[in-house]
Amino acid sequence: MTKTSQISISILLLTVLALCSFLFVRSASASAPGGLPSTIATSSNPALAANTATVIIASSTCNARIISTATTTLMLTFTDKDTPTATFGVFQPASTTVVYDSGQYGCGQVKALSNLAGQITVQDAR
């Protein structure tokens, strides 16, 4: 086998590998469309009781949910069926703002379990 044919085969194999990698790339669905604006549709400051699960968002249409905490940590669930506990849910530390994209977390009901009584800020982007 000549050096030219080895180079040609190597280039061909790299091209096939590159094309195959594009076929198996998966993108998120149901999130805000790329390049289009998303605006805050609702904003609220629900009061949370310590160690009690509370529904903080009940709507089912969104691009993202934005949740800000001050002095409290949260455990969150993003479905109508699940309720957060001290060991089950998505953890959000105190003094943080997190954007939960609907492509990953969905647009179901959001429930929060707080370790301390207090208020949080919740925004629903559409």
> Is 119 contained in some domain?
yes
CA gap 76, 112 in Å, rounded: 5
Q: Is residue 98 part of a domain?
A: yes
Tell me if 92 is assigned to some domain: yes
The answer as to whether 93 is a domain residue is yes
Share of the chain above pLDDT 90, in %: 49
Determine, yes or no, domain membership for 30: no
Domain that holds residue 88: 40-125
- Answer yes or no: is 50 within a domain: yes
CATH number of the structural domain spanning residue 78: 2.60.120
Q: Is the overall model pTM greater than 0.85, yes or no?
A: no
Q: Answer yes or no: is 106 within a domain.
A: yes
- Nearest-angstrom CA–CA distance, 92 and 110: 13
Quickly list DSSP for 36-54: S---EEEEE--EE-BT-EE
Asked whether residue 40 carries a pLDDT value surpassing 70, the answer given is yes
Answer whether residue 44 is part of any domain: yes
At 41-96, the pLDDT tens digits run 899 999 999 999 999 998 778 888 999 999 999 999 998 889 999 999 999 999 99
Q: How many domains does the chain have?
A: 1
